[in-house]
Amino acid sequence: MTEIPKDHPRYESLIAREKVTAGVKMGITSIQGLISQGRGESFDYLIGERSTKSALYAERAAVAALLLAKNPVISVNGNVAALAPEKVVALADVTGAKLEVNLFHRTETRVHLIIEQLRANGASEVLGKNPDASLELSHARRLVESRGIYSADVVLVPLEDGDRCEKLVEMGKTVITIDLNPLSRTSRMATISIVDNLTRALENMIKLGVELKKERKEELVKLITTYDNKRALSEAISEIQEYLKTMTVELEY
């Protein structure tokens, strides 16, 4: 990876770019993953590169859902494995969720490399190598494990494609997504749509996991039943509008 000086004003963003590029070189991330990262970066600019109020509201409900689930699963793709392997492993640990590799551009080598990457970051078991069940999809993301995504009641699918998200919701699962684009099909389909950068969202969710684990079950149930995804998404769009207004005002003076 290229050395990025810590005092560079765009340090976080440049580091993320280096990580995804390194992921491609290592064979973990698909070349198309670079385009997803670029699209994410542009939305992050519009959001102001911060976790907004609506993101934190969704993250809290998402962690409550993971903690209350019978079989929570975190789905990992090549971008997630390149950007935040230690963070998905930590979130799985704190919430008791399983990890499963699930790829649109699936090759057995990539699945193997991602599993190794997660293991190197502390994961004990990672599903995805031996899919024995299928979702009703025509692409490789249909391949899942019966004791993982297939039977999960709550699934966290960071950086998802809209298709599979829709299918998982149709199957009656609580689907949590992390996607900086509040307009994507994924964000519109999910049960809990977190409009935040993957790295920031996972950091917030790990902290919330530690905090909410101490709460009574009724409190967690309340966080989920009072959560309104349409409200969260519409606030995410309003937060972008508000942020853009402040940027316009800055230019006027």
Binding site listing for ATP: 17, 39, 179-181, 185-186, 197-198
> Would you list the DSSP string of 175-210?
EEEE-S-TTSHHHHH-SEEE-S-HHHHHHHHHHHHH
> CB within 8 A of 22, min separation 6: which ones?
1, 82
Q: 36 is written with which tokens?
A: 């997803």
Examine residue 52 and tell whether it contacts ligand ATP (CB under 6 A): no
* Cα distance between residue 215 and residue 223, in whole Å: 11
Q: Which stretch binds ligand ATP (CB under 6 A): 39-47, 94-102, 127-135, 139-147?
A: 39-47
Output 37 or 220, the one with its CB closest to ligand ATP. 37
User: Least distance (Å) from ligand ATP to the CB of residue 32?
Assistant: 7
Residue 168: closest CA among 139, 142, 133: 142
Examine residue 162 and tell whether it contacts ligand ATP (CB under 6 A): yes
Q: 29 is written with which tokens?
A: 């991330």
Examine residue 37 and tell whether it contacts ligand ATP (CB under 6 A): yes
Q: Using CB under 6 A, which of 24, 43, 58, 176 touches ligand ATP?
A: 43
Size of the site for ligand ATP (CB under 6 A): 18
Q: 198 is written with which tokens?
A: 């993957």
**Residue at 32: amino acid letter:** Q
Residues that bind ligand ATP (CB under 6 A): 36-37, 39-40, 43, 83, 159, 161-162, 178-181, 184-186, 197-198
